[in-house]
Chains A and B, each alone.
Chain A
Amino acid sequence: MAKILKQRNIISLLILIAIVFPFLTKNEYFIHVMTLSFIWMIGVYGLNLLAGYTGYLSLAHAGFFAIGAYSLGILTVKAEMNFWLAFLLSLLITGILGFLIGLIALRTKEHFFAIYTLCVGYIIYLVIDKWDSLTEGVRGLIGIPAPGKAGPINFEEPLSQYYLVLFFLLVTVLIVYRIIHSLSGRTYIAIRNSEDLALTIGISTMKNKLSVFVLSTIFAGLSGALYASFIRFIGPDIGQISVTFDLLTYLLVGGIGTLSGPIVGTVLIVWLSQELQFLQDYRMLIFGPVLTLLVIFYPRGIVGALTGWKHKRDEKRKPQAARASSMAFGKSQVTVDKPVKEG
């Protein structure tokens, strides 16, 4: 029980830090970078749900990110729609396109799925780049409005935007947390571990994969829509494959298939990139090998390595208790602590 409390404390502490962060630094640039990190995290959580928990590595997520961003941009700039209506619609549009693409993409598996979605991502990029009349092509969309007023709150200021994005991030984390700790989450993990076995225990794999895929694209779309309203200018570049690989790098470094991995990975890489800016593109000379080593030795990233290490330590410390450990689900009579294995 003490451990669960400790975990709760860590989460509350993190949220508190995120809330007071703008007061700790007067540097607006830092707040800008942090807001952008939060936006990326939402997309990374979407990718994590699909690639980390269900085992389907999508390389089309920059495409869905761009669909969310462009939907918002076009609806507000060209159709001059109310911001929040456009915001909701852009999530809906991303979800519908995700559904249609998922119907076909999910007929493939493993690396075929990765290659297929890589192509889908590139096609989305091309459509955005070439469809001048709708997207303004390479010129990009300029003058996307900041989030509209929500009651008395105004989102023109960097500070209020920071809190708005933080709010959406917390909602995302809460949703993902609840899914992972539910029967649906167990179902997705079962599919990841063995699709054949999942089928034999009566799980409709297609239906489940499709719902994760759609939800995952909606998170990517949310991330894109927030990006568009924050940066207020978007070009076709945001749909490029390199953006997908950025998201994937954040996820791999933090820990794929772990709950806190997206936060750890994104914060770490974004700040490291900022600190190493004087190296320009030579940064990749450092990132490349480090990432390779990490994937080889710690396939579940930093968070995976930490939880694995903690798990081992707990087993060593009380081999007797570990046996009956999982009895401790709150209601049981067994008094030993359950080692919390969640990432």
Chain B
Amino acid sequence: MFLETKGLTKRFGGNTAVNNVDFTVEQGKINAIIGPNGAGKSTFFNLISGFHPPTSGQVIFKGQDVTKMPANKIAELGVARTFQTTNLFEQSTVLDNVIVGHRLRTKSTLFDAIFRTGRLKTEEAICREKAMEVIEFTGLMHVMGKQVGSLSQEEKKRTAFALALATDPEIVFLDEPAAGINPDETEGLAELIKQIAKKGITVCLIEHKMKMIMKLADKIMVLNYGEKIAEGTPEQIQNNPTVIKAYLGGSAIA
């Protein structure tokens, strides 16, 4: 199994945000997690990426138990993520934002920095090259030198993608990538997500835009009040009576 959770549970005081969730992510596919607001989707992401320690349960990535690992170690293993609010470095340029994304694959230290060693120079070139590669991939060449603070919402989302991709991940978790973006741009982002999957990087995303999800996802899990209520292909989910009742309020999918 590529990435799976076993009985993953998180309680904040008396509130159970994620309750006993078993979930498997299929390699190379686009996996989606949907659910009403407050269903525990983002918490679920935070548990997998090591941001919060789970109350109980396990996260297993490529056969290795990563439940208690700190977030930076999990990232080193090849798990990347983006945040719901674009959590970027607003005052620096797109390129500068993305270069540091490859830092985890480099080894140079303060000593290298002070003495400008050959290792530092090589690694800086590698980071820059990687940054250029992902900037081109995410279609940001034209804004590369702009400060992130001056970009459009969509460009910021793409920058966040680029940063995540610069870490050389095997799987990326995207937290509401299309939130606050108009329909045309959403199409563009969906296309980009497909490209990521095509490159062999597994995608797992949280999204509210049903139209996008149903077209994009290979596999969907539905969370409600922290519990998994359904899992399957888009068709199965659309026809699942529990999902329709809990999530869509009985009406057809928009």
Contact = CB atoms under 8 A, between A and B. Distances in A.
Contacts of B75: 199-202
Nearest to A194: B87
A204 interface: yes
Given A184-B113, A322-B145, A201 B167 contact: yes
A203 B72 contact: yes
A184 B101 contact: no
A183 B106 contact: yes
Interface string A297-312: 0000000000000000
Contacts of A194: 87-89
Given A186-B99, A190-B100, A199-B70, A327 B114 contact: no
Contacts of B144: 324, 326-327
Nearest to B143: A323
Interface string A211-227: 10001000000000000
Contacts, number: 115
Interface size range of chain B in the complex: 35 or more
B2 interface: no
Contacts of A178: 113-114, 116
Contacts of A201: 75, 80, 100-101, 103-104, 163-164, 166-167
Interface residues of A, number: 32
A187 B113 CA distance: 12
A211 B80 CA distance: 25
Contacts of B136: none
B145 A202 contact: no
B93 interface: yes
A interface: dominant SS: helix
Nearest to B108: A183
A197 B88 contact: yes
Interface in A7-25: none
A200 B72 CA distance: 6
Contacts of A326: 93-96, 144-145
Residue from the set A182, A201, A323 with the largest chain B CB neighbour count within 10 Å: A201
Nearest to B173: A200
Interface in B80-95: 80-81, 83, 87-95
A196 to B, nearest CB: 6
A115 B31 CA distance: 45
A175 B110 CA distance: 10
B120 interface: yes
A205 interface: yes
B110 A179 contact: yes
A108 interface: no
Contact of B103 (A187, A193, A215): A187
A255 interface: no
A215 B110 contact: yes
A201 B75 CA distance: 6
Nearest to A208: B110
A199 B72 contact: yes
Given A183-B113, A204-B72, A196 B87 contact: yes
A205 to B, nearest CB: 7
Nearest to B101: A201
A209 interface: no
A185 B96 CA distance: 11
A186 B100 contact: yes
Contacts of A273: none
Nearest to A187: B103
B127 interface: yes
B151 to A, nearest CB: 12
Interface string B135-178: 00000001111100000000000000001101100000000000
Contact of A175 (B87, B90, B114, B143): B114
A186 B103 contact: yes
Nearest to A184: B113
Interface in A138-195: 175, 178-179, 182-187, 189-190, 193-194
A190 B92 CA distance: 10
B113 A200 contact: no
Interface of B: 49, 51, 70-73, 75-76, 80-81, 83, 87-96, 99-101, 103-104, 106, 108-110, 112-114, 116, 120, 123-124, 127-128, 142-146, 163-164, 166-167
Interface of A: 175, 178-179, 182-187, 189-190, 193-194, 196-197, 199-205, 211, 215, 322-327, 329, 338
11 contacts: A179-B114, A183-B106, A183-B123, A183-B124, A189-B100, A193-B88, A193-B90, A193-B91, A200-B80, A202-B72, A327-B145
Given A182-B113, A197-B83, A323-B143, 20 more contacts: A182-B116, A182-B124, A183-B103, A184-B113, A185-B113, A186-B100, A193-B88, A196-B87, A199-B71, A199-B72, A199-B75, A201-B101, A201-B166, A202-B75, A203-B100, A204-B72, A326-B94, A326-B145, A327-B144, A327-B145
